[in-house]
């Protein structure tokens, strides 16, 4: 069995909840393996520009990462929600 490393929040020392699970009202830890960077900046701004904003999201599984990414794209980069059709 592979040991997955939980993503810890720097300040409190507690693990960070999977973003998708949190939207569902569940409380499961996110793992380093499924960490994902979302680019919250316009395409014409390069990633290393000081104005470029990035958000790190963590997930409990590859599936939840895909769910979240798809919902994010569907919603045109608005604050994420979820659809029960999943
Ligand atoms: Zn999850
Ligand atoms: Zn970027």
The tens digit of pLDDT for each residue in 28-61 reads 999 999 998 888 888 899 999 999 998 889 999 9
In a domain, 14, yes or no: no
In a domain, 1, yes or no: no
In a domain, 47, yes or no: no
pLDDT band at 69 (very low <50, low <70, confident <90, very high): confident
Measured in Å, residue 37 CA sits from the centre of ligand 2 at 8
In a domain, 3, yes or no: no
Measured in Å, residue 19 CA sits from the centre of ligand 1 at 7
Report how many domains make up the chain.
1
- What was the pLDDT predicted at 4? 87
In a domain, 10, yes or no: no
Domain of residue 34 covers: 28-42+53-80
- What was the pLDDT predicted at 20? 94
Which ligand has its closest atom nearest to the C-alpha of 40? 2
Are the CB atoms for 81 and 68 separated by under 8 Å? no
Measured in Å, residue 38 CA sits from the centre of ligand 2 at 7
Structure-model confidence comparison of residues 32 and 84, the more confident one: 32
In a domain, 61, yes or no: yes
pLDDT band at 84 (very low <50, low <70, confident <90, very high): very low
For the entire predicted model, the pTM comes to 0.68
Closest CA to 55 of 68, 73, 41, 45: 41
d(CA 50, CA 58): 23
In a domain, 62, yes or no: yes
Measured in Å, residue 46 CA sits from the centre of ligand 1 at 30
Which ligand has its closest atom nearest to the C-alpha of 29? 1
Structure-model confidence comparison of residues 56 and 6, the more confident one: 6
Are the CB atoms for 60 and 28 separated by under 8 Å? yes
In a domain, 36, yes or no: yes
């Amino acid at each position: 069995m592979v040991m997955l490393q939980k993503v810890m929040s720097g300040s409190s020392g507690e693990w960070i909840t999977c973003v998708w699970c949190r939207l569902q009202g569940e409380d499961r830890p996110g793992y380093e393996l499924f960490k994902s960077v979302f680019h919250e900046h316009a395409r014409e701004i390069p990633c290393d520009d000081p104005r470029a904003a990035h958000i790190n999201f963590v997930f409990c599984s590859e599936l939840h990462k895909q769910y979240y990414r798809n919902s994010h794209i569907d919603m045109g980069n608005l604050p994420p929600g979820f659809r029960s059709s999943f």
